[in-house]
Amino acid sequence: MNTGYRGRRLSMGLLALAALALGGCVVHETKPIAKVEARQAKQQIPAAELLDIGIREFDPNIPAALVDDEEALDKRRIYPDIRKAESRLLAVRLRSTLESSGQWGAVRVVPQGIEHLDLIVSARIVESTGARLELRVDAVDATGRAWIKDRSYAGDADLGSYKTDAALRARDPFQNVHSQIANDLVAARDALAAAQRREIRQVAELRFAQDLDPRRFQGYLQRDAGGLLRIARLPAADDPALARIAKIRERDAAVIDTVDGFSGDFSEQLFEPYGGWRRTSRDAIEKAERTRNQALTRTALGAAAVLASIFVPSNCAGGDYNCQRVDSALRTTASMGGVAAVLSGIQKYADAKAAAQEVKELADSFGSEAAGQTVEVEGRTLKLTGTAEEQYREWRRLLAAIYQEENGVPAATPAGTAPAP
């Protein structure tokens, strides 16, 4: 093989490298996600075993150390306005999944501080974008038994839900996550004996009574060696105090239903803007990741092409002027292609930054639509934003006053509440 031929092979290799740098991109094949459905009840569940569920508004999980560092939050794709809205929106999505399964009694989204329901479900948002959702979930029944303890539930978006508005309404992009939580709750319930499920309901009723009048209902519950609440004795079936407590509990349930109804209305009002944000967020994130990969590929290969065109020695013989002219022309072409690849990579970095900014702007506009609202309850106006817990505590103080008025005896301040100012 003569030196001219070797030189031409080297130059052609440099050109190929430059072409690869200019056109380099990573193609990801997206496979359909297998759908997980919530288990449906196949037979009627006895009323004494039909457990009510309270879903607390999710913890938005905005790091306190970063609350004023907008740039750091942006890097983690945490947008406080959206996270605060999602604390209720995601709870409503889980509630809808549990309700549709037919496995439970009343399922409601409840404010913080409620402890007297059969089962309380709470969750912390670890990650929530249009591309991925991760939650850490806890579920504890009225006896204190943990059904789910700090368990992670995560999944990527089902892209089929983003195709049309109708598809988005028909199935949540992260329905698999909600369905898996629902199925684990059913599995935990089914692992209990029927007597244990009945006991949970009775303990919840007695906890409500003790919370409202601890002196009258003292001694009915006690903790076992494992720390679980057990029934030590039951009040008489015809106990008038218990009948009055039952009536007050019905009023309390009506207030909780109103709060839950507000959460449902809140979710419905934000369905389209939130769904649109999720869809566009996912597209922007995918675009940012794709352009970032392209930037890395183009910049690295472009730099390699430039360096190769400079430092790889020529293999043309000293008198072979024709070989030298071809080699010089091809080196120049490769160098120019490499520089173009580097510049293209820099532009791709700029595109990725623009895509991230697009997500942020969408988050800001969505946050403005998620402003707090008010609801009328028992003649009182409750502002249900981040202070729903305080508003419910105010209602619980009113319940104590109602009990005192109807029974003519002093009632203690309900547990978890502060004295009225």
- Quick one: pLDDT band at residue 362, thresholds 50, 70, 90? low
Helix, strand or coil, per DSSP, at residue 53? strand
Answer yes or no: is pLDDT of 174 > 70.
yes
3 state SS of 195: helix
Split at pLDDT 50, 70, 90, the class of 76 is confident
For residue range 249-258, what is the model confidence (pLDDT) as tens digits?
888 888 788 7
Stronger pLDDT, 321 or 54, i.e. the higher one: 54
Percent of the chain with pLDDT over 70: 64
Cβ distance 50 to 103 under 8 Å?
no
pTM for the full predicted model: 0.73
**Position 308, amino acid:** A
Q: Which residues of 11-40 are buried (b: 16+ CB within 10 A; e: fewer)?
A: beebbebbebbbebeeeeeeeebeeeebee
Mean pLDDT of 80-105: 93
pLDDT at 266: 78
Give per-residue pLDDT as tens, 277-330: 888 888 878 877 676 555 555 555 555 555 544 544 555 555 555 555 555 555
Which residues, 6 or more positions from 325, have their beta carbon under 8 angstroms from its beta carbon? none
pLDDT tens digits, residue range 11-27?
A: 455 445 444 544 444 44
Structure tokens at 293: 């990969």
Identify the pLDDT of residue 421.
33
Contacts of 248 (CB under 8 A, 6+ apart): 212, 399, 402, 403
Residues across the chain: 421
Residue 273 above 80 pLDDT? yes
Domain boundaries, the chain: 47-269
Mean pLDDT over all residues of the chain? 77
